């Protein structure tokens, strides 16, 4: 029984740096708190009587001006790390409660919220919702061509099964020479599920991605499909079984699709091999049977075309030939040949004329 897939194989997470999502808008209450509270301290400080009170209040206002965005960003990044490490089971509850958190509803930039929702949709296996959320994140960031977001959207489209649009985005990354390990695996999956003529190219992407990703279930399943398309059945069967074991433990729509394709291709390859073997056996049998039939036809066809009398005469001739061959082996002269030679000599001497006797 094959060993289970190593849990060390993990896909690189979708990471978008803060300077991108910080460009998007923020909720109104958060902006008021960010600007209003420090400004209020500064105004109160300016109206204070003592110099010490003025300096303290103005300093507190400046400190709040710096601290509020730093503290909120740190808290949002902590939530992001929680989302990154969440299991599929927990992802559902996080998605439902994300927008209701006070910190998120007051201070989180809109692009940050859509980014986290996209990551949670990916964990739940909803590629279409994740792709829409990533596209919305790119729009809010005003950076539709940002490499991280293009890569994330392509990955979500692969999960959704939209290979055409995924390939369009992945080709954009290829032209820019900005393909990462996860993109290489996604490219391999797209090639394997859209054509059976690019298995070698897909296999090259898989081997390159394995150096970073390791034996992730999607990579193992894609590797099995690539080997089956190259008709390398033995190794592919083992890898396909490993992917099936993982699928029973933790459902994954991409692995499920690849395993289904792999089983179908495996049956087709086995059936093709059996057909080739049957044809080869049939050709060998035909050659043997044809040779025997030819001999029987030569002998039997001549005999079958004779009448009963001719068959008797043929049998007598065959016996006579056997008798003559036996005489020759003993060194005796063949009487038939002797008679034939005598007849020939008489004919050469000329005709014999009968003379009358007077």
Q: Where are the domains of the chain?
A: 17-144, 146-291
What pLDDT, on a 0 to 100 scale, did the predictor assign at position 45? 79
Whether the Cβ atoms of residue 119 and residue 14 lie closer than 8 Å to each other:
yes
What pLDDT, on a 0 to 100 scale, did the predictor assign at position 5? 44
Interhelix angle 51-84/88-97, nearest 10 degrees: 140
Give the C-alpha separation, 74 to 94, whole Å. Answer: 18
Give the C-alpha separation, 250 to 89, whole Å. Answer: 11
What pLDDT, on a 0 to 100 scale, did the predictor assign at position 74? 92
Whole-structure pTM value: 0.70
What pLDDT, on a 0 to 100 scale, did the predictor assign at position 300? 53
What pLDDT, on a 0 to 100 scale, did the predictor assign at position 290? 53
Enumerate the H helices of the chain as residue ranges. Answer: 18-21, 28-47, 51-84, 88-97, 102-107, 110-123, 127-141, 147-160, 163-175, 181-194, 199-213, 217-229, 233-249, 253-304, 308-330, 335-349
The residues near 336 (Cβ < 8 Å, ≥ 6 apart) are 320, 324
Cα 42 from chain centroid?
63
What pLDDT, on a 0 to 100 scale, did the predictor assign at position 352? 44
Q: What is the largest CA-CA distance in the chain?
A: 194
The residues near 357 (Cβ < 8 Å, ≥ 6 apart) are none
**Residue 165, token pair as written in the block:** 């649009």
DSSP class of residue 196?
S
Whether the Cβ atoms of residue 120 and residue 79 lie closer than 8 Å to each other:
no
Please provide the CATH number assigned to the domain covering 146-291. Answer: 1.25.40.10
What pLDDT, on a 0 to 100 scale, did the predictor assign at position 266? 80
Give the C-alpha separation, 112 to 15, whole Å. Answer: 11
What pLDDT, on a 0 to 100 scale, did the predictor assign at position 347? 46
Nearest-10 Cα torsion for 294, 296, 297, 300: 170
Interhelix angle 181-194/253-304, nearest 10 degrees: 40
- State the sign of the Cα–Cα–Cα–Cα dihedral 330, 335, 340, 344: positive
pLDDT per 10-residue tile (average), the chain, 358 residues: 47 86 86 81 80 83 85 91 90 93 92 95 93 94 89 94 93 92 94 87 93 90 90 83 83 87 83 78 63 51 54 62 64 56 48 44
Backbone angles phi, psi at 352, to 5 degrees: -95, 125
Give the C-alpha separation, 256 to 337, whole Å. Answer: 89
Give the C-alpha separation, 126 to 191, whole Å. Answer: 21
280 to each of 273, 274, 277, 295, 310, how far by Cα in Å?
Answer: 11, 10, 5, 23, 44
Query: What would you report as the CA-atom Rg of the chain, rounded to the nearest whole angstrom?
Result: 46
325 to each of 94, 184, 319, 343, how far by Cα in Å?
Answer: 105, 84, 10, 22
């Amino acid at each position: 029984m094959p060993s289970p897939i190593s849990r060390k194989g993990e896909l690189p997470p979708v990471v978008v740096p803060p300077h991108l999502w910080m460009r998007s808008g923020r909720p109104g209450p958060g902006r008021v708190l960010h600007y209003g509270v420090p400004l209020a301290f500064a105004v109160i400080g300016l109206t204070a009587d003592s110099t010490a009170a003025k300096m303290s209040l103005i300093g507190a206002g400046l400190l709040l001006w710096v601290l509020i965005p730093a503290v909120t960003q740190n808290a949002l990044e902590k939530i992001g790390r929680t989302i990154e490490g969440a299991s599929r089971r927990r992802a559902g509850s996080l998605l439902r409660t994300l927008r209701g958190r006070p910190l998120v509803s007051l201070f989180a930039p809109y692009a940050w919220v859509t980014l986290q929702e996209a990551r949670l949709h990916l964990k739940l296996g909803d590629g279409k919702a994740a792709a829409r959320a990533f596209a919305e994140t790119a729009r809010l960031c005003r950076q539709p061509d940002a490499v991280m977001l293009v890569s994330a959207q392509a990955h979500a489209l692969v999960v959704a099964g939209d290979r055409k649009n995924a390939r369009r985005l992945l080709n954009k990354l290829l032209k820019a020479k900005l393909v990462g390990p996860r993109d290489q695996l996604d490219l391999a999956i797209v090639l394997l599920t859209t054509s059976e003529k690019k298995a070698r190219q897909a296999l090259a992407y898989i081997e390159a991605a394995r150096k970073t990703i390791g034996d992730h279930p999607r990579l193992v399943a894609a590797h099995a499909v690539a080997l089956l398309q190259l008709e390398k059945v033995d190794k592919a069967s083992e890898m396909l079984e490993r992917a099936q074991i993982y699928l029973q433990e933790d459902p994954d729509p991409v692995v499920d699709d690849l395993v289904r394709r792999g089983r179908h291709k495996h049956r087709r390859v086995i059936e093709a091999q059996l057909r080739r073997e049957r044809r080869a056996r049939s050709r060998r049998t035909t050659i043997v049977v044809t040779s025997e039939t030819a001999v029987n036809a030569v002998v039997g066809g001549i005999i079958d075309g004779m009448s009963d009398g001719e068959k008797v005469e043929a049998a007598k001739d065959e016996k006579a030939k056997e008798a003559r061959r036996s005489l020759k082996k003993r060194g005796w002269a063949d009487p038939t040949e002797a008679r034939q030679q005598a007849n020939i000599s008489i004919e050469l001497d000329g005709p014999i004329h009968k003379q009358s006797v007077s």
